[in-house]
Chain A
């Protein structure tokens, strides 16, 4: 079973990398971009098929390692 975890910066946290990408997009002529925020995606494969168990494990993974909850939010999709 495949799961995806998306970690993004909380709103209000300055994202210098997102700002730099935003600037690069504008200089490439990509029009209409108001802002860019950078995040991380983790694709995790589970051996079993229990979605609820996987979600519980991934919440632990996010709280303990994948996200720094001081500055980041996470979203789990199983």
Chain B
């Protein structure tokens, strides 16, 4: 598994992401700059990390979504290559057209930074094989614009085609109400592309890989990916 992380001006979770990828794959990821035009030959997985690319100017992820490297990321995804976007990376994937919909300001207008339970919707993808279907995991969230919104037809398609990857829930697995931290439609925390080779999610699994910092529920995502190619 050969991995690469794209760093934009204002990315700040690339170090955490690199640690998680190295722990799972045994190899440090290549670090790419937004102005690069190509991925290293043989790249299996491209990761867009969290942060505040371009200071969240215009709309979160809008300017990064049009960066030079994104053409190569798009071509990689079209070939069936794996792409993971976390937090700002998810916003960039939506803005670049690799995933449908948009992440709007949290419904309560607050930046939310806390531990959060998620339900793993399916475990037959490259990202989730090391989880159980329906498993409740605890990871952290830290965002001000995580309120997933799309038109009714898109939401219907995501649901009927099984493209919802993770849903916000409480520790007992109940969705809705206070378990939804940002007003996301259908409690959506993460979605797949049509072929399930692109995943975008707001929570930070890369921060839950070491018992020293609160848990290891994020580890299975990277272990799944490490064995995906």
A residues lining the B interface (CB < 8 Å): 13-14, 16-17, 20, 64-66, 68, 70-71
Contact = CB atoms under 8 A, between A and B. Distances in A.
A70 B62 contact: no
Contacts of A68: 59, 62, 95, 102
A71 B102 contact: yes
B66 A16 contact: no
Interface in B83-137: 95, 100-102, 104-109
B151 A70 contact: yes
Main secondary structure of the interface of B (DSSP, over half): loop
Contact of B104 (A14, A20, A64, A66): A14
Nearest to A42: B58
Interface residues of B, number: 20
Nearest to A70: B102
Given A14-B104, A70-B101, A71-B102, A20 B109 contact: yes
Contacts of A14: 104, 107, 149, 183
Contacts of A16: 104-109, 147, 183
Contact of B62 (A13, A20, A65): A65
Main secondary structure of the interface of A (DSSP, over half): helix
A65 B59 CA distance: 9
A65 B96 CA distance: 10
Contacts of B183: 14, 16
B150 interface: yes
Contacts of B95: 68
A20 B108 CA distance: 9
A18 to B, nearest CB: 10
Contacts of A64: 66
Contacts of B62: 65, 68
Interface in B124-177: 147, 149-151
19 contacts: A13-B104, A14-B107, A14-B149, A16-B104, A16-B108, A16-B147, A16-B183, A17-B105, A20-B109, A65-B58, A65-B62, A65-B63, A65-B66, A68-B62, A70-B101, A70-B102, A70-B151, A71-B102, A71-B149
